[in-house]
């Protein structure tokens, strides 16, 4: 491998000599790379040049999906452009990249060999498989900018390994597997039941990095599943359970073990906000306690402040909301101001949320600075009550937004595009659909609204029809199997069948009869949940064509 200092010095020298008094072009840079690599006696690989490689990544849009299949002692490797929406037909997509491939297998488990073992040029290549059995992983430590998909058999083998001992797989590849799985399912290339089965391993995951991938994936699912209240409730219960686990682990490391690791401390900040937003009981109690300490004038850790302020506002009265607003207006601490601003959107009170949005009309004379307006509506769009407040704000006050707010048209189109990506319930969709068709709205705005609607809403409805049943059914069965409570009240998870004395009252039949009743209850709850999920599909309102 090239020595970094020698490589940089040589590269800088060649650029200066070649391009003195001239503009530097990409070709100049690629040629300089070629010459330096030659001087360093570094071989990229057979028939691979820097210029050819860099052009494949800088002169075409998107990034690749690499598919791996095991076949008769070989890996058959193909590529195509990864698209979440749009055609997945490889015949209509000739975009190709030069990709350096790294991999390891269950027998070898060498995650440090990050130099390419083979180059994928063109649509397909074949690589010898010396092991022939067990799981395999490509793109070690997620060093390449591409997604990877495997055959179902290998995905199942990887999931089994993660459940048995996740530390056998490098942490960056654990994060990669989660991120790839959620995005492959979103693009209809993987079954969501498999993705959710994969996610269960997180109960044993202590490193924050894979959790960030899971947090992103679940955020999308929860927003889309709002369309089906029962399925959403069950999924939220499951995700809230997971979020509570990593929240508790990071809080223990920071509070009880005095961890100074940056990843752990930022994780505590992120996961406490996540778990509390999902109404995790332990997180809500802890954050509420910190908020009360803050109100008494005590110092609280900076990394819990976002969650503490949000929980305080969420369960507080108007006086609490105003006190947090006062922090944003008067505090000299940028961190405190940011925590306060985010927390103001956590209120469940529609009047308070409307008041928060109306501050935008006051511009520089109001309590919220114009440069923070974007934070207001982006934060509100992360909660169901915030989405409703935003819809009412845009649909009832559009004229004022355009005429009274700085860059009003841009603000209106930004809010509409954000709502188009967030709306899920029929009432929400009808309101923004009516707005884009309203003849009293200026034509230039209607055109932008229409483009945002078409780009997002129809695709999201199609996604819901394809996937909500399997996600809802899986979540319902898993919540019951894990003994989780879907009632976000202090009391925690319901006891499991491992302790019959806690699971059943003393007068409940025991033994085989008790187990029979428990199984019967499980069956009926799953059946009722499935019926509720079916109703989500049957009750879908057909929106009138534009």
Following DSSP, what letter does each residue of 421-461 receive, concatenated?
TT--SHHHHHHHHHHHH-TTS-HHHHHHHHHHHHHHHHHHH
For the chain, percent of residues with pLDDT exceeding 90 = 75
The rounded Cα 323 to chain-centroid distance in angstroms is 32
Q: 11 or 522: whose pLDDT is higher?
A: 11
Please check whether residue 295 lies inside any domain of the structure: yes
With cut-offs at 50, 70 and 90, classify the pLDDT of residue 514: very low
Q: What is the mean pLDDT of residues 100-121?
A: 94
With cut-offs at 50, 70 and 90, classify the pLDDT of residue 15: confident
**Domain end call among 484, 518, 540:** 484
Write the CA distances from 101 to 2, 71, 127, 168, integer angstroms.
Answer: 19, 18, 10, 21
Whole-number Å distance between alpha carbons of 189 and 177: 14
User: Same domain for 82 and 110?
Assistant: yes
| Angle in degrees, CA 285, 210, 267, rounded to 5 | 40
At residue 6, the pLDDT reads: 62
At residue 441, the pLDDT reads: 96
At residue 130, the pLDDT reads: 86
Nearest alpha carbon to residue 48 among 74, 66, 30: 30
User: Same domain for 256 and 322?
Assistant: yes
User: Same domain for 307 and 332?
Assistant: yes
With cut-offs at 50, 70 and 90, classify the pLDDT of residue 272: very high
User: Same domain for 135 and 236?
Assistant: no
| 229 phi and psi angles, rounded to 5 deg | -55, -45
The rounded Cα 50 to chain-centroid distance in angstroms is 34
Please check whether residue 75 lies inside any domain of the structure: yes
Q: What is the mean pLDDT of residues 354-379?
A: 93
Q: What is the mean pLDDT of residues 245-262?
A: 95
At residue 427, the pLDDT reads: 96
At residue 5, the pLDDT reads: 62
Q: How many structural domains compose the chain?
A: 3
Rg of the chain over CA atoms, in angstroms? 27
* Residue 232, CA atoms < 13 Å, CB-side half-sphere: 16
pLDDT tens profile 17-75: 777 777 878 888 888 888 888 777 777 776 788 889 999 999 999 999 999 999 999 99
Does 94 score more than 80 pLDDT? no
With cut-offs at 50, 70 and 90, classify the pLDDT of residue 196: very high
Whole-number Å distance between alpha carbons of 88 and 67: 13
Please check whether residue 233 lies inside any domain of the structure: yes
Mean of per-residue pLDDT scores for the chain = 87
Write the CA distances from 312 to 292, 297, 306, 355, 491, integer angstroms.
Answer: 8, 15, 10, 18, 20
Tell me, what DSSP letter sits at residue 112? -
Whole-number Å distance between alpha carbons of 252 and 246: 10
User: Same domain for 28 and 72?
Assistant: no
Nearest alpha carbon to residue 123 among 154, 84, 81: 81
Whole-number Å distance between alpha carbons of 442 and 436: 10
Task: Check: CB of residue 201 under 8 Å from CB of residue 210.
Answer: no
Does 520 score more than 70 pLDDT? no
Does 458 score more than 60 pLDDT? yes
Please check whether residue 116 lies inside any domain of the structure: yes
Whole-number Å distance between alpha carbons of 536 and 538: 6
Which of 8-22, 88-102, 228-242, 451-465 bottoms out in mean pLDDT, i.e. has the lowest?
Answer: 8-22
Domain that holds residue 157: 58-168
Q: What is the mean pLDDT of residues 84-112?
A: 83
For residue 257, what are its two tokens?
Answer: 């073990």
For the chain, percent of residues with pLDDT exceeding 70 = 85
User: Same domain for 357 and 472?
Assistant: yes
At residue 540, the pLDDT reads: 52
Please check whether residue 434 lies inside any domain of the structure: yes
Kindly list the strands in the beta sheet with 64-71, ordered across the sheet, starting from the edge strand earlier in the chain.
124-128, 74-81, 64-71, 147-149
Q: What is the CATH number of the domain that holds 147?
A: 2.60.40.1910
Q: What is the CATH number of the domain that holds 467?
A: 1.25.50.20
At residue 502, the pLDDT reads: 30
Parallel, antiparallel, or unpaired for β 103-105 and 99-101?
A: unpaired
At residue 485, the pLDDT reads: 82
Nearest alpha carbon to residue 117 among 106, 105, 107: 105
User: Same domain for 14 and 112?
Assistant: no
Tell me, what DSSP letter sits at residue 494? P
Whole-number Å distance between alpha carbons of 46 and 223: 47
Whole-number Å distance between alpha carbons of 383 and 386: 5
| 332 phi and psi angles, rounded to 5 deg | -90, -5
Does 534 score more than 80 pLDDT? no
For residue 313, what are its two tokens?
Answer: 């506002």
With cut-offs at 50, 70 and 90, classify the pLDDT of residue 505: very low
Whole-number Å distance between alpha carbons of 231 and 220: 14
Does 341 score more than 70 pLDDT? yes
Q: Where on the phi/psi map is residue 297: left (φ > 0), alpha (ψ -120 to 50), or beta?
A: left
| 348 phi and psi angles, rounded to 5 deg | -95, -5
Q: What is the mean pLDDT of residues 412-435?
A: 97
At residue 271, the pLDDT reads: 98
Whole-number Å distance between alpha carbons of 543 and 546: 9
Whole-number Å distance between alpha carbons of 73 and 319: 69
Return the residue matching tokens 């044993």: 204
Beta-carbon contacts of 518 under 8 Å, excluding residues fewer than 6 positions away, are: 497, 503, 504
Return the residue matching tokens 């223990």: 252
This prediction has a pTM of 0.87
User: Same domain for 332 and 370?
Assistant: yes
Does 499 score more than 80 pLDDT? no
**What crossing angle do the helices spanning 262-277 and 302-314 adopt, rounded to 10°?**
10
Does 504 score more than 70 pLDDT? no
At residue 12, the pLDDT reads: 73
Helix residue spans in 252-383 (DSSP H): 262-277, 281-295, 302-314, 318-330, 334-344, 350-358, 373-380
At residue 17, the pLDDT reads: 73
Please check whether residue 519 lies inside any domain of the structure: no
**Domain end call among 449, 484, 519:** 484
pLDDT tens profile 283-302: 999 999 999 999 999 999 99
Does 133 score more than 80 pLDDT? yes
With cut-offs at 50, 70 and 90, classify the pLDDT of residue 488: low
pLDDT tens profile 373-413: 999 999 999 999 999 999 999 999 999 999 999 999 999 99
At residue 194, the pLDDT reads: 98
Please check whether residue 490 lies inside any domain of the structure: no
Task: Check: CB of residue 147 under 8 Å from CB of residue 137.
Answer: no
User: Same domain for 219 and 265?
Assistant: yes
Please check whether residue 409 lies inside any domain of the structure: yes
User: Same domain for 370 and 404?
Assistant: yes
Beta-carbon contacts of 391 under 8 Å, excluding residues fewer than 6 positions away, are: 419, 423, 428, 431, 432
Q: What is the mean pLDDT of residues 465-478?
A: 96
Sign of CA dihedral 451, 455, 460, 466: positive
With cut-offs at 50, 70 and 90, classify the pLDDT of residue 530: low
User: Same domain for 164 and 210?
Assistant: no
User: Same domain for 119 and 203?
Assistant: no
Q: What is the mean pLDDT of residues 521-533?
A: 54
Does 7 score more than 90 pLDDT? no
């Amino acid at each position: 491998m090239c020595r970094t200092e020698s490589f940089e010095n040589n590269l800088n020298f060649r650029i200066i000599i070649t391009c003195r008094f001239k503009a530097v072009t990409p070709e100049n840079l690629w040629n300089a790379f070629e010459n330096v690599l030659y001087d360093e006696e570094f071989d990229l690989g057979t028939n691979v040049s820097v210029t050819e490689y860099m052009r494949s990544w800088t002169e075409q849009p998107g990034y690749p999906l690499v598919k791996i299949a095991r076949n008769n002692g070989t890996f058959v490797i193909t590529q195509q452009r990864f698209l979440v929406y749009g055609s997945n037909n490889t015949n209509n997509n000739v975009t190709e990249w030069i990709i350096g491939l790294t991999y390891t297998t269950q027998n070898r488990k060498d995650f440090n060999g990050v130099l390419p073992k083979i180059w994928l040029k063109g649509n397909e290549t074949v690589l010898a498989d010396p092991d022939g059995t067990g799981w395999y992983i490509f793109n070690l430590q997620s060093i390449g900018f591409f997604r990877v998909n495997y055959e179902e058999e290998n995905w199942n083998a990887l999931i089994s390994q993660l459940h048995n001992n996740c530390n056998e797989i490098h942490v960056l590849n654990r994060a990669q597997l989660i991120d790839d799985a959620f995005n492959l399912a979103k693009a209809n290339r993987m079954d969501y039941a498999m993705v959710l089965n994969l996610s269960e391993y997180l109960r044993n995951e202590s490193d924050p990095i894979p959790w960030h991938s899971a947090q992103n994936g679940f955020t999308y699912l929860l927003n889309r599943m709002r369309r089906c209240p029962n399925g959403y409730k069950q999924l939220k219960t499951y995700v809230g359970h997971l979020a509570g686990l990593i929240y508790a682990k990071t809080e223990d490391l920071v509070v009880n073990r005095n961890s100074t690791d940056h990843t752990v401390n930022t994780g505590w900040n992120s996961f406490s906000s996540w778990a509390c937003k999902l109404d995790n009981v332990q997180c809500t109690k802890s954050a509420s306690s910190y908020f009360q300490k803050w109100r008494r004038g005590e110092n609280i850790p900076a990394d819990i402040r976002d969650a503490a302020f949000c929980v305080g506002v969420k369960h507080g009265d108007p006086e609490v909301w105003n006190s947090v607003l006062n922090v944003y207006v008067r505090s000299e601490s940028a961190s405190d101001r940011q925590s306060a601003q985010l927390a103001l959107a956590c209120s469940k009170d529609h009047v308070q949320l409307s008041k928060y949005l109306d501050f935008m009309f006051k511009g520089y004379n109001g309590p919220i600075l114009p440069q923070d307006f974007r934070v207001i509506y982006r934060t509100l769009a992360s909660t169901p009550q915030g989405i409703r407040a935003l819809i009412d704000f845009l649909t009832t006050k559009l004229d004022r937004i355009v005429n009274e707010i700085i860059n009003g048209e841009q603000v209106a189109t930004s809010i509409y595009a954000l709502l188009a990506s967030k709306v899920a319930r029929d009432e929400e969709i009808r309101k923004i659909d009516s707005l884009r068709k309203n003849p009293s709205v200026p034509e230039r705005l209607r055109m932008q609204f229409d483009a945002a609607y078409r780009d997002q809403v129809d695709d999201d409805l199609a996604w819901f029809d394809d996937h909500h049943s399997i996600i809802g059914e899986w979540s319902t069965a898993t919540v019951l199997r894990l003994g989780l409570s879907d009632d976000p009240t202090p009391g925690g998870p319901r006891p499991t069948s491992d302790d019959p004395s806690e699971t059943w009252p003393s007068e409940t039949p025991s033994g085989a009869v008790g187990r029979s009743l428990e199984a019967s209850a499980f069956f009926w709850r799953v059946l009722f949940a499935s019926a509720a999920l079916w109703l989500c599909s049957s009750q879908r309102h057909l929106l009138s064509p534009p």
